[in-house]
Copies of this chain bind each other. A is one copy, B any other.
């Protein structure tokens, strides 16, 4: 069977099914980051790798600086989704020998801009020849206090679901320029008990079922509540992906304080309650257009 007929989640599950783990691994494959550390350590190490490929994640004529920014920002967004701070990055570039060096310098300018912005140190840079499209792979470490580390799997039935910002339409340009929600995620984990969190990279419709599946819950969404980017349809908000906003679950008793404190702290950034986790394995959505955008959890 060809890769095209496999879902990414199924593929990863099958590829990694027999891999060994040990006591140093707090969270392995299947979350935004791997979490490494002993049970009694106060600080844990976060590990993330991510790649962007020309023709898939950016077009050949995209400004190199924006491509570099995006490559690093995507990985930073995953560190943020665990409640952590990004630390050290390594960059692998594979490029055709025909690639103008100026283009690579532009990409590094964008990487450096993102690194400086988020206080990340780029400590390794490999290059490789490639007969194919330009390929940028980022490996990023982060750190998080053990008590503040948030995975996808801590949600419970009844928890309320929130998203930051607005969703959809990122292809208009935001997918190259987004600012990972590091500050917002740190504020959240410092001030609240966030039960489960992830960043929205594949779109709410693909990502929310992953969070629910990891938490062992179902979910219900009020589609009319989903905050759409100006000009984007609901369907785009659910399916476009590359929003890099935070999706998280919190106990209902904390919701009022959260909403009030958030408005004070981030008056310009919407925080929207879009639904809740529930005990049902069957999806129950308030559909606004009769189309089920959400992937069925397994």
Interface residues of A (CB under 8 A from B): 1-4, 6, 8, 11-12, 14-16, 18-22, 24-25, 28-29, 33-34, 36, 45, 47-51, 53, 55-57, 87-88, 90-92, 94-102, 104-105, 108, 112, 115-116, 121-133, 135, 137, 139, 141
Contact = CB atoms under 8 A, between A and B. Distances in A.
Given A47-B88, A130-B132, A132-B135, 8 more contacts: A3-B95, A3-B100, A11-B127, A14-B101, A15-B104, A19-B122, A45-B45, A47-B139
Contact of A15 (B6, B57, B88, B108): B108
16 contacts: A1-B101, A1-B102, A14-B101, A15-B104, A19-B115, A21-B121, A22-B121, A25-B121, A29-B122, A29-B125, A47-B139, A49-B92, A55-B131, A56-B131, A131-B133, A137-B137
Given A29-B124, A88-B24, A92-B50, A3 B34 contact: no
Contact of A51 (B6, B12, B92, B99): B92
Contacts of A131: 53, 55-56, 132-133
Contact of A129 (B18, B45, B56, B99): B56
A60 to B, nearest CB: 11
A116 B205 CA distance: 36
Contacts of A99: 2-3
Given A1-B100, A36-B88, A130 B133 contact: yes
B33 A130 contact: no
A24 to B, nearest CB: 7
A52 to B, nearest CB: 8
How many copies of this kind of chain does the complex include?
A: 2
Contact of A33 (B2, B12, B124): B124
Closest 3 CB pairs of A and B: A132-B132, A139-B139, A4-B97
Given A19-B112, A24-B121, A88-B34, A51 B94 contact: yes
B126 A88 contact: no
A92 to B, nearest CB: 5
